[in-house]
Amino acid sequence: MKIPALLLMTLVFLGSVGLSQAVPPGLSLEFIPEDEGVVNFSGTSHYEAGMRCANCHMRVFDVSRSARISFGDHRSDQFCFGCHDGDRAFGVRRNCGNCHEGG
């Protein structure tokens, strides 16, 4: 009976460590849109810039991953473009390759 309790405590500890780091270095997410080329999100570069999950999730992004970014959104202050406006972080205009592979 001690093994399941120890396993549960270990899982709880590892889960809390992951939450405390928010966007952990080394995390990379790949989004595959239909025609625009794969979009890579680097947790490392965002973490090194001082960002954490809570900076965007639930305020800018819904964590359910149901949100879809359209081409028109690239000219808004929604989603990634709230920060990637050319002032706070690199802008998207003529910088497709910063996010889209082959862009």
> How do residues 51-98 score in pLDDT, each as one tens digit?
888 888 877 776 665 667 888 888 888 889 989 999 999 998 888 888
Q: Is the residue at 39 inside a domain? A: yes
Q: In the 8-state DSSP scheme, what is residue 99?
A: T
Residue 10 lies in a domain: yes
Of 41 and 19, the one with more pLDDT: 41
Find the length of the chain.
103
Q: How far is CA 1 from the centre of its chain?
A: 39
**pLDDT per residue as tens digits for the range 37-51:** 788 888 888 888 998
Instruction: Using DSSP, state whether 46 is helix, strand or coil.
Output: helix
- Structure tokens of 88? 């706070």
DSSP E strand boundaries for the chain: 28-31, 39-42
- Number of domains within the chain: 1
In a domain, 103, yes or no: no
How far is Cα 73 from Cα 78, in angstroms, rounded to an integer? 7
- Six token digits for residue 69: 């970014």
Q: With cut-offs at 50, 70 and 90, classify the pLDDT of residue 18.
A: very low
pLDDT score of 78: 84
d(CA 91, CA 59): 20
Which residue segment(s) compose the domain that 44 sits in?
Answer: 2-98
- Per-residue pLDDT at 13 exceeds 70: no
CATH of the domain at 63: 3.90.10.10
